[in-house]
Structure 1
Amino acid sequence: MQDLAVTLSGYLSKLSLPSLGVTDILEIALISFFIYQFMVWIKFTRAYTLLKGILIVLLFILVAYILKMNTILWIIKNLSTILLTSVVVIFQPELRKMLEQLGQKKIVASIFPLDSGKEVQERFTDKTINELVKACFDMGEVRTGALIVIEQNIRLSEYERTGINVDAVLTSQLLINIFEHNTPLHDGAVLVRGNRIVAATCYLPLSDNMELSKQLGTRHRAGVGISEVSDSLTIIVSEETGQVSVAQNGELSRGLTSAELRSALIKAQNKKVVNNSKLRHLLKGRMKHEEHKAD
């Protein structure tokens, strides 16, 4: 036991901890901030799925390195420059969007939130849910076809660019007017972000799922298709039957009632209450403590 203690103390005596200055602390804080912002950006884009694929490739390279697979390592070494260029090309839209968002951010406010009280966080309000339900069943009664994509965590900017910008508060009257027959915006999908209609006449990818009913048309296949490549919730109103359907995670639920549609929207709303006043409470607590000391 004494030998172990002597050996351990001798080993620890050889260790030298680096000295930290103000510049080093500032550097660590900046790196941590940018890594955090990068992870937040990754979470809310389709790049998260691509990142998982890259991590699998890196894991494969690690296994090849451990098992001394020289041929595979030689191929990877020679293709490394091309692979890095490919990553930049693949992530080009997301990287551009990240830089734009970084320029619009209020950095100090994001690091030191001073707002007081509790805050309700939600993707859209209860009023938007009511307007969506009313619009869908009003259109169903008169056999007006509709395709409404509700964005969630994954940004759908690439599909937004295929349509016409609207950027208007979502109301049932506006939705009904957009999908009215023989109007300029009725053909294609409407993209909803938060409480606003951001674009109309958007083109969506069609599903290749062979298990879908042959009776379903292009509108339903497009609704399922966008749900396969994103976490969006898509509402489809059939022009033939007036039925309201919902597509999510590659699954299609047909013939929903207004209560069922409302339930799906409430789930997608993701309402939660958060306390964003920790810093303010800390500051107030310190001020009260100082006042008591002064008294």
Structure 2
Amino acid sequence: MWPVLQAFRLRDAVDIVIVAAVVYRVLVMFRGTRALQMLAGLGGLMVASFLARRLDLVSTTWILENFWSVWVLALVVLFQPELRRALAQIGRSPLFQGITRAGQEQQSHVIDDVVKAADSLAAKRIGALIVLERTTGLRNYAELGVPLDALVSADLLVSLFLPYSPLHDGAVFVRHTRVAAAGCFLPLSRNTRLGRAMGTRHRAALGLSEETDAAVLVVSEETGRISLAVGGQMETPLDREQLRDRLAELFALGNTPSPGRAGWWVPAREWLKK
């Protein structure tokens, strides 16, 4: 034991910390998704392969070794949504970010208009789904709807969600100071732990927030409740002032990954509570 400790170097400690951090982030990213079950299955196959070799089970070893020859392709196919989300998170890091946001004063006006529209829609019990683009580009999602490129205003946002509007069923995308598109479809959340009571709008808001850093505003048609999806988490209910403060915080910081507001250790704390 002592020779092992004597040979232990600082770079070995750094190596262990990096591996532990990567494993932890993978577990947090896949938690609550079907991918976690797939990872557990792959882990079981690795254990089975090891035992088959140790016990000299020729046929079983041959089958498992041939399986591992295509494991890279299988992982890419099975984990495609999670890999896309991971690459998007890397691209949102400060190292790769450019100056892509509107000026602070213009952004403040946009937030005021969005909050005013949400408050008005909530009072009238009109359902709404508003996507506020942050640092991740959302053009591929916005292209699924009707392009508008109109200046953001509370009246415009309210009119788009009125029951008789042809675009009221989809999401509205706000990019900087412009309403980029309306009537857009969003990916539904893959979180298997969501309750059955959660409606399609809220699942769609969570789905996009899981894949991007967008702030997705939801107004419930049934209750008039205002919610905000960020980083795969739903903040609800929010009143007018809470919504304004939260949006101001998100667009001032730009890199806030989740509503926890305290960095990487918030998911760790929640993980330990489970």
Q: TM-score range by the shorter chain?
A: 0.5 to 0.7
CA offsets 1:115-151 (integer angstroms, 9 cap, x no match): xxxxx94495211111111100100011000000111
Which one of the candidate residues 128, 133, 146 is aligned to 1:164?
146
**Structure 1 residue 191 and structure 2 residue 173: aligned?**
yes
Contact residue 122 and residue 271 of structure 1 kept, 8 A: no
Which one of the candidate residues 233, 237, 242 is aligned to 1:260?
242
**Structure 1 residue 145 and structure 2 residue 120: aligned?**
no
Instruction: Kindly report which structure 2 residues correspond to 1:81-120, keeping only aligned pairs within 5 A, or say none.
Output: none
- Secondary structure of the corresponding residue to residue 130 of structure 2: strand
Instruction: Kindly report which structure 2 residues correspond to 1:276-287, keeping only aligned pairs within 5 A, or say none.
Output: none
Other-structure match for 1:234: 216
CA offsets 1:174-222 (integer angstroms, 9 cap, x no match): 0000000021111110011001100001110001213223212100000
**Structure 1 residue 131 and structure 2 residue 113: aligned?**
yes
Which one of the candidate residues 194, 205, 225 is aligned to 1:243?
225
**Structure 1 residue 219 and structure 2 residue 201: aligned?**
yes
1:157 maps to amino acid: R
Contact residue 123 and residue 270 of structure 1 kept, 8 A: no
- Secondary structure of the corresponding residue to residue 214 of structure 1: coil
Other-structure match for 2:187: 205
Contact residue 123 and residue 152 of structure 1 kept, 8 A: no
- Secondary structure of the corresponding residue to residue 209 of structure 1: coil
**Structure 1 residue 178 and structure 2 residue 166: aligned?**
no
Deviation at 1:257, TM superposition (A): 1.1
Deviation at 1:241, TM superposition (A): 0.2
CA offsets 1:238-292 (integer angstroms, 9 cap, x no match): 00000000000000011101111011110122279xxxxxxxxxxxxxxxxxxxx
Question: What is the alpha-carbon distance in structure 2 between the residues aligned to residue 124 and residue 199 of structure 1?
Answer: 19
Which one of the candidate residues 148, 155, 158 is aligned to 2:137?
155
Question: What is the alpha-carbon distance in structure 2 between the residues aligned to residue 232 and residue 191 of structure 1?
Answer: 10
Which 4+ runs in 1 deviate beyond 3 A? 120-124
Other-structure match for 1:107: none
1:190 maps to amino acid: V
Question: What is the alpha-carbon distance in structure 2 between the residues aligned to residue 161 and residue 248 of structure 1?
Answer: 22
Ranges in structure 2 where 5+ consecutive residues have no aligned partner? 1-64, 77-82, 85-101, 255-274
Other-structure match for 2:58: none
Contact residue 220 and residue 236 of structure 1 kept, 8 A: yes
Question: What is the alpha-carbon distance in structure 2 between the residues aligned to residue 162 and residue 124 of structure 1?
Answer: 27
Contact residue 224 and residue 247 of structure 1 kept, 8 A: yes
TM-score, L = length of structure 2: 0.55
Question: What is the alpha-carbon distance in structure 2 between the residues aligned to residue 123 and residue 199 of structure 1?
Answer: 23
Question: What is the alpha-carbon distance in structure 2 between the residues aligned to residue 155 and residue 268 of structure 1?
Answer: 16
Computing the radius of gyration over CA atoms, which structure comes out larger, 1 or 2?
1
- Secondary structure of the corresponding residue to residue 136 of structure 1: helix
Question: What is the alpha-carbon distance in structure 2 between the residues aligned to residue 271 and residue 221 of structure 1?
Answer: 25
CA offsets 1:27-86 (integer angstroms, 9 cap, x no match): xxxxxxxxxxxxxxxxxxxxxxxxxxxxxxxxxxxxxxxxxxxx9xxx89xx9xxx9xxx
Q: Quick one: structure 1 residues 249 and 124, their matched pair in 2 at CA, closer, same or farther if it must change by over 3 Å? A: farther
